[in-house]
């Protein structure tokens, strides 16, 4: 039967309800029951699981010979149950805006405790097989069901607990970011802009977050020897937001229509993948009929497939109105290949 989810859940505690049919096992051992489900803990954290139930009806030899039992009128049934939970790969390769889930430590990705609640029959823990395993398994336990059905339905409540970021971890991160980012202590590189503006940083931290910075600060490069990097193609305020994301994992100012595009370009230049994904997710929400052509042109220039396709679909769906705009006229003159692509889609 399908998996349902209990209302009593939060970020670190999830309740999964599984109603399954326990068949009569008089003649032969029953086949295991299994089901797949996924838990969503945040917009970017999806966890996939398989749950397996092995069971066997406990039958008294004398009772099994009676007509009452054979006809399914036996009032109380007793089953021996064993549950197994398997966490499978939770990386959604179909969503290009998501970052690699493997960058999240197992401490947060895997459950820290699992147990099953079996109505009046009690609560039973599922133990992790080994420290490196993704499998949690219960010991065999017995349940009693009162029913006049030949194949009774039974509901398991599987409770799964995850670790969350704690106060001490948050405090430690705040101290480090205040020291390194806001105070700019012990910096060994300066990024220089026009009008004598500069931002200081740390080669090791930047190298850890960006393969481009890692290559730039290798021993034979001029930037590593001089500790100076000239920035001519990124505005200081955008570069500060890039730095803020590198050190803190988020931008200082919320993404908006003014900073999302230049931040994407900066993140693309230095291969800050997470920031690129954040910018793409924001820009996808901003595409409308009156700016679809502009988004399509920008996305084509920067090779952002998702934004280009979404904008193109909107242009095609509203072709009659859009073809009469000044933006369409400019598209035909300046970007004939994109115009041709849109026209061909409209004719399909």
pLDDT per position as a tens digit, 3-29: 888 765 566 888 999 988 877 656 667
State whether 308 and 340 are in the same domain: yes
Domain membership of residue 346 (yes or no) is yes
C-alpha distance from residue 223 to each of 25, 190, 228, 270, 309 (Å) = 74, 9, 6, 15, 39
Please indicate, yes or no, if residue 281 is contained in any of the structural domains: no
Question: How far is it, in rounded angstroms, from Cα 290 to Cα 68?
Answer: 74
Say if 103 falls within a structural domain. Answer: yes
DSSP helix/strand/coil, 87: strand
9/137 same-domain check: yes
179 and 197 share one domain: yes
7, 155: one domain: yes
> CB count, 10 Å around CB of 295?
23
Which of 162, 193, 223 is the C-terminal boundary of a domain? 162
According to the model, what pLDDT value does residue 66 have?
54
Verify that 185 and 316 share a domain, yes or no: no
Same domain, 296 and 321: yes
Asked whether 33 and 154 are in contact (CB, 8 A), the reply is: no
Domain hosting residue 333, numbered range: 287-348
SS3 53: strand
Cβ–Cβ under 8 Å, residues 210 and 270: yes
Domain count, the chain: 3
CB-side exposure of 267: number of CA atoms within 13 Å? 24
pTM over 0.75: no
- Pair 154, 173 in one domain: no
pLDDT at residue 57, as a whole number? 80
Is residue 94 domain-shared with residue 219, that is, in the same domain? no
185 and 104 together in one domain: no
Say if CB 310 and CB 287 are below 8 A apart. Answer: yes
The DSSP code for 65 is: G
300 shares its domain with 151: no
Closest CA to 74 of 27, 122, 24, 121: 24
User: How, if at all, do strands 228-230 and 189-192 pair?
Assistant: parallel
Is residue 117 a part of any domain in this protein? yes
Q: Is 158 exposed, middle or buried (0-12, 13-18, 19+ CB in 10 A)?
A: buried
Domain termination site, one of 210, 238, 270: 270
- What are the tens digits of pLDDT across the range 208-231? 999 999 999 987 788 888 999 999
* Model confidence pLDDT, tens digit, residues 284-303: 999 999 999 999 999 999 99
Average pLDDT, the chain: 85
Q: Is the residue at 282 inside a domain?
A: no
154 and 12 together in one domain: yes
* Least trusted range by pLDDT, from 12-21, 56-65, 90-99: 90-99
Residue 254 lies in a domain: yes
């Amino acid at each position: 039967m399908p998996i349902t989810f209990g209302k009593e859940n939060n970020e670190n505690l999830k309740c999964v309800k599984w109603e399954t049919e326990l068949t009569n096992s008089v003649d032969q051992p029953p086949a295991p029951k299994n089901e797949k489900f996924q838990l969503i803990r945040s917009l970017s954290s999806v966890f996939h699981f398989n749950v397996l139930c092995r069971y066997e009806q406990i039958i008294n030899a004398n009772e099994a010979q009676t007509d009452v039992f054979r006809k399914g009128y036996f009032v109380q049934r007793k089953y021996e149950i064993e549950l197994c939970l398997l966490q499978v790969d939770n990386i959604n390769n179909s969503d290009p805006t998501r970052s690699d889930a493997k960058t999240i430590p197992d401490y947060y990705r895997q459950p820290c405790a699992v147990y099953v609640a079996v109505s009046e029959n009690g609560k039973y823990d599922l133990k992790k097989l080994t420290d490196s395993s993704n499998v949690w398994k219960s010991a065999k336990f017995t349940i009693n069901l009162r029913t006049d059905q030949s194949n009774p339905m039974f509901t398991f409540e599987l409770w799964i607990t995850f670790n969350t970021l704690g106060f001490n971890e948050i405090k430690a991160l705040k101290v480090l970011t205040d020291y390194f980012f806001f105070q700019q202590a012990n910096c060994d590189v300066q990024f220089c802009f026009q009008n004598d503006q500069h931002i200081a940083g740390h080669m090791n931290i930047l190298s850890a977050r960006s393969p481009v910075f890692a290559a730039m600060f290798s021993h034979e490069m001029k930037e590593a020897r001089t500790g100076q990097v000239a920035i001519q193609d990124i505005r200081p305020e955008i570069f500060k937001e890039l730095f803020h994301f590198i050190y803190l994992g988020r931008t200082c100012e919320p993404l908006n229509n003014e900073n999302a595009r230049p931040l994407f370009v900066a993140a693309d230049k230095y291969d800050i993948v997470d920031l690129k994904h954040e910018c793409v997710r924001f820009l996808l929400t901003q595409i409308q009929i009156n700016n679809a052509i502009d988004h399509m042109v920008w996305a084509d220039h920067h090779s952002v497939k998702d934004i280009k396709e979404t904008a193109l679909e909107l242009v095609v769906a509203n072709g009659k109105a859009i073809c009469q705009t000044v933006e369409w006229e400019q598209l035909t003159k300046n970007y004939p290949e994109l115009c041709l692509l849109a026209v061909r889609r409209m004719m399909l």
